[in-house]
Structure 1
Amino acid sequence: MFSIRTDLALETREMYVKSNKKECDGVEVIEKEENDIKISTVKIINDIGEKTMGKPKGTYVTMEMPKLTLYDGELMDNVSNSLGKVLLDMIKVDKNKTTLVVGLGNWNVTPDALGPKVISKLMVTRHIKELMPEAIDEDVTPVCAISPGVLGLTGIETGEVIKALVQKIKPDYVVCIDALASRRLERVNRTIQIGDTGISPGAGVGNRRMEINEKTVGVPVIAIGVPTVVYAATIASDTIDLVIDSVKSQASEGDKVYDMLGSIDKGERNQLIHEILNPYVGDLVVTPKEVDSVIDSVSKIISTGINIALQPALNMEEINKFLN
């Protein structure tokens, strides 16, 4: 049976609750709001939750940005600061621990260029700490970064590249940034997910590659992702939902129309949408027309958040001075 895909743990949990009318066993959810940013923490705490959610045990934090964040410098800074705090809870930073930051994705495809864009704005310090320690504050932590490209460009699995790098430079943490797919259109380019279970590049668009996690590379892996695309089938399904809700609101219980709409099986309907669309557009994914400027803004938010988290001894003025 065809099902709507999503990379967000929060959306997986929402779909389960909507279908089963109850909370997932083995899953804890904590919600709070900070500077108009909704922060939802989904914790998968046992094997039952892992099986139900289809995701590894661990913590998944979802930050939903205010509507105009990408066009407002102050709001962008607020999100970056909140992201920095979330990362600090997952990464125990000190001046002797090295962090490898990996920008996953294809820089030639704008919706998939988030990772490489973040790397271009990162405060990279490992080489200076090793070669010119006197030229930098002793409290600065060593950070190195790479954008390894994708299998289609390099012929090398991204996971293999990261594993080899970890074995060579022996970082204490790996932080991966990647573009994701969302279940809901309103979350595209407005949501950041941070997880401590690693990542499977390409999974959101049905192109699953070697997993990148502590088991495969040997050190803890923190994954940061932003949904930049949504499936056309998802848009079609949501549109039909809106039409059904509109018609049902105008009918009363007991009407034939009301009863007929209530009897529609959503799984079968999604399967039908998939079968109708697939011969014409395949697994088409859609991204907003302003994606170029959006990716620039989101990459700046994430790079600033990472810089804040990995350099807790420096303030933003000092970080910007280093970058410029």
Structure 2
Amino acid sequence: MKDFTWTPRTDLALEAREMLSRKVREDIPGVVVETVEEEDVVITTVNITNAEAERIMGKGQGKYVTIEAQGLRDKNTPLQEKIMKKLAEELVGMVELAKNATVLIIGLGNRNVTPDALGPRAVEKIVVTRHLQDMLSPELKGGVRSVCAIAPGVLGITGMETVEIVQGIVSKVKPDLVIAIDALAAASSRRVLTTVQLANTGISPGSGVGNKRFGLTAQSLGAPVIAIGVPTVVHASTIAIDTIDTLQEHAPFARYFKSMEHLSDNDRKMIVSQVLPEVLGDLMVTPKEVDRFIEDIGVLIAGGINQAIHPHIDYENIYNYLH
């Protein structure tokens, strides 16, 4: 195995594995990948099982489940309901919760910046019940868990690190599980707003856009943390570098750009820097219809969490009530 460390500009473990496969062209010990393909959905599980795999992948040890459906951008209600159910199934399979468990939902991000507003938008649709536990009928108890939710804002607005706010809440609420919802960054434009990732490793707010904050993890919070995220942006520099790679590798372009086949990563970055100068900063790209997409995906994420946590609620028509 080559001594190769690669830090991909993506929050998706699946993409990190794909990038490494193109670089080292061999299996990585400690990284186990399983893929299940259905008619319009692809579910990929990446397990990172040891410290060396964690170092190479640039992702913490744990389980990452990616649900991909290209039709999510098409206002396809039956598909959204299907992904909602898949999300609920994967979430149930990722953690064991007692019937009387308390769950804290954290909506990360800035509600005033649309591509970063997924967490706050999703939290608005969560069925919160912690304040109602004493009022539940006997037949619902055990199937409607104690749930509380908050969107703590971002450092630039509150002046407090998100982890500081969440630690204070956790110390009072003492949840059995924390679920953090956040917008992510992808390395491929086709995965923007078409992909949901679940991870049992926690999350570092802002990591996808190069603004990594203190992480929300089991170690920092003292409770298990499940991270649920959807890519809403892609780095412009990543698109540019992918274009260079495509010109080199795919006919009929390859023969015209054969002289570029020995370009190093640094050479590619230098070329891109001429097109995207530092004065523009680290430019991010998002679809122009992102406001509609964020609303739809927020409903999807909230619906999946609600189904997983509150199994005794009738969800036959819940999608209609979440809008």
Is residue 190 from structure 1 mapped to residue 194 from structure 2 by the alignment?
Answer: yes
Name the residue aligned to 2:52. Answer: 48
Q: 1:128 aligns with which of 127, 132, 149?
A: 132
1:279 Cα deviation after fit: 2.5
Alignment-derived partner of residue 246 in structure 2: 242
Which residue is 1:254 aligned to? none
Q: Distance in 2 between matches of 1:153 and 1:322?
A: 31
Unmatched 5+ stretches in structure 1: 252-256
**Residue 146 in 1 paired to residue 150 in 2?**
yes
Matches for 1:1-324 after TM superposition, within 5 Å:
5-34=9-38, 36-68=40-72, 70-130=74-134, 132-134=135-137, 137-138=140-141, 139-246=143-250, 251=255, 259-274=258-273, 276-317=275-316
Conserved 8 A contact 1:128-1:135: no
CA contact (8 A) 1:2 1:271 kept: no
Q: How many residues align?
A: 318
TM-score by length of 1: 0.91
Give distance in 1, aligned partners of 2:195 and 2:320. 28
In the TM superposition, residue 48 of structure 1 has moved relative to its aligned partner by: 1.1
Distance in 2 separating the partners of 1:75 and 1:322 = 17
Q: Describe the superposition over 1:156-214 as per-residue Cα deviations: whole angstroms up to 9, x where unpaired.
A: 11111111111101110000000010000111111111000000000111111111000
Q: Which amino acid aligns with 1:78?
A: K
Residues in 2 aligned to 1:322 and 1:258: alpha-carbon distance in whole angstroms: 54
Residues 198, 213 of structure 1: 8 Å contact kept: yes
Distance 1:275 1:24, change over 3 A: farther
2:140 counterpart SS class: coil
Distance 1:3 1:51 in 2: 9
Cα 1:297–1:284 shift into 2, 3 Å: same
Q: Could you tell me how far 1:289 is from its partner in structure 2?
A: 0.3
Which deviates more, 142-151 or 260-269?
A: 260-269
Query: Residue 65 of structure 2 contacts residue 198 of structure 2 at CA under 8 Å; is this kept in 1?
Result: yes
Residue type at the aligned position of 2:242: D
Contact 2:36–2:42 (CA under 8 A) maintained in structure 1: yes
Q: Distance in 2 between matches of 1:83 and 1:268?
A: 41
Q: Which runs of 5+ in 2 are unaligned?
A: none
Equivalent residue of 1:316, what SS? coil
TM-score normalised by the chain length of structure 2: 0.91
Q: Identify if the C-alpha distance between structure 1 residues 318 and 183 changes in structure 2 by more than 3 Å, giving closer, same or farther.
A: closer
| Distance verdict in 2 for CA 1:140–1:321, change over 3 Å | farther
Cα distance in 2 for partners of 1:28, 1:296 equals 34
CA RMSD of aligned residues (A): 2.3
Of stretches 257-266 and 46-55 in structure 1, the one that deviates more from structure 2 is 257-266
Change (3 A) 1:320 1:63: closer
Could you tell me how far apart the structure 2 residues matched to 1:100 and 1:301 are?
18
Offset of 1:16 from its aligned partner?
Answer: 0.6
Answer whether contact 2:63 2:201 (CA < 8 A) is retained.
Answer: yes
